[in-house]
């Protein structure tokens, strides 16, 4: 059973996947787990494999979620991405890292708003 934070994370990933589909991405994997770590969404846009990290916030207290992907997290995502490409025989495929930032803070008193932003090429391969 998922706790509230895990449930919010799963819901945010579903919202992100839907938004990516509306923007022309084909979803290949959701919650891709390996012993090295996890990638929220693996998608394809045209001929590019896209590794997507989803960051969501319920309030603005901790800042914009798009700035929450630390170098340590980038490194972990990079390792998992390389593993995915190698294990699926796509080591020479074009790939990039995107972030989907979801800010569901209240936009006005009594009105809930949801702002979704796709940041393409959010970071470079961080595994060396």
% of the chain surpassing 90 pLDDT: 60
Q: In 3-state terms, what secondary structure has residue 40?
A: strand
State residue 59's pLDDT score: 58
Distance from CA of residue 76 to its chain's centroid?
13
Q: Residues 34-75: pLDDT tens digits?
A: 999 999 999 999 999 999 999 887 655 556 667 778 899 999
CA-closest candidate to residue 81, choices 56, 50, 54 = 50
Q: In 3-state terms, what secondary structure has residue 51?
A: strand
* DSSP H/E element including 12: helix 4-22
* Dihedral-angle region of residue 121 (phi above 0 means left; psi in -120 to 50 means alpha; beta otherwise): left
Instruction: Spell out the domains of the chain, with CATH numbers in brackets.
Output: 4-123 (3.40.1350.10)
Confidence class for position 26, pLDDT limits 50, 70, 90: very high
Mean pLDDT of 74-96: 95
| Average pLDDT of every residue of the chain | 86
Query: With a threshold of 0.85, does the pTM exceed it?
Result: yes
Rounded CA separation 39/54 (Å)? 9
């Amino acid at each position: 059973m998922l706790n509230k934070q895990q449930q919010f994370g799963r819901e945010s990933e579903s919202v992100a996947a839907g938004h990516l589909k509306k923007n022309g991405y084909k979803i290949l994997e959701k919650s891709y787990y390996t012993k090295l770590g996890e990638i929220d969404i693996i998608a394809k846009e045209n001929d590019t494999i896209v590794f997507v990290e989803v960051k969501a916030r319920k309030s603005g207290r901790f800042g914009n979620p798009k700035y929450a992907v630390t170098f340590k997290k980038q490194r972990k995502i990079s390792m998992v991405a390389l593993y995915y490409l190698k294990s699926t025989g796509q080591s020479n495929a074009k790939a990039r890292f995107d972030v989907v930032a979801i800010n569901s803070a209240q936009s006005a008193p009594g009105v809930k708003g949801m702002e979704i932003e796709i940041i393409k090429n959010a970071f470079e391969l961080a595994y060396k």
